[in-house]
Amino acid sequence: MTTFPPGFLWGSATASYQIEGAVAEDGRTPSIWDVFSHTPGKVLGDDTGDVADDHYHRYADDVALMARLGLQSYRFSVAWPRITPQVTADELGPVNPAGLAFYDRLVDALLAAGIAPAATLYHWDLPQALEDAGGWTDRRTAERFGEYAAVVAERLGDRLSMVITLNEPWCSAYLGYASGVHAPGRTEPAAALAAVHHLNLAHGLAASAVREAAPGTDVALTLNLGWFQPASGSAEDADAVRRVDGLQNRVFLDPALNGRYPADVLEDTAAVTDWSFVREGDLELIHQPLDALGLNYYFPVLVGRAAPGRAPERADGHGDEPASPWVAADDVEFPQLPGPYTDMGWPIDAEGMRALLVRLSQEHPGLPLYVTENGAAYGDGPGPDGAVHDEQRIAYLRGHLEAVAQAVEDGADVRGYFLWSLLDNFEWAYGYSKRFGIVHVDYDTQVRTPKDSAHWYAEVIRTGQLPG
Strands 292-296 and 332-333: unpaired
- Among residues 168, 321, 333, 427, which one is catalytic? 168
Helix 97-112 and helix 55-69, axial crossing angle in degrees, nearest 10:
20
Q: Which residues pair with 3 in a beta bridge?
A: 465
CA–CA separation, 267 vs 275, rounded Å? 10
User: For residues 213 and 150, is the Cβ–Cβ distance under 8 A?
Assistant: yes
- Among residues 20, 131, 321, 373, which one is catalytic? 373
Helix (H) or strand (E) holding 361: helix 351-363
CA–CA separation, 181 vs 321, rounded Å? 6
Candidates 57, 141, 55, 17; CA nearest to 431 is: 17
User: For residues 393 and 438, is the Cβ–Cβ distance under 8 A?
Assistant: yes
Helix (H) or strand (E) holding 119: strand 116-122
At 304 the three-state DSSP class reads: strand
Residue 91 is a catalytic residue: no
Residues 292, 140, 93, CA angle at the centre, nearest 5°?
95
Q: What DSSP assignment string belongs to 152-203? A: HHHHHGGG-SEEEEEE-HHIIIIIHHTS-SSTT----HHHHHHHHHHHHHHH
Residue 168 is a catalytic residue: yes
- Count of beta carbons in the 10 Å neighbourhood of residue 436: 25
Continuous H helices in 54-164: 55-69, 80-83, 97-112, 128-132, 139-156
Strands 369-373 and 414-420: parallel
Q: Which residues are catalytic?
A: 168, 373
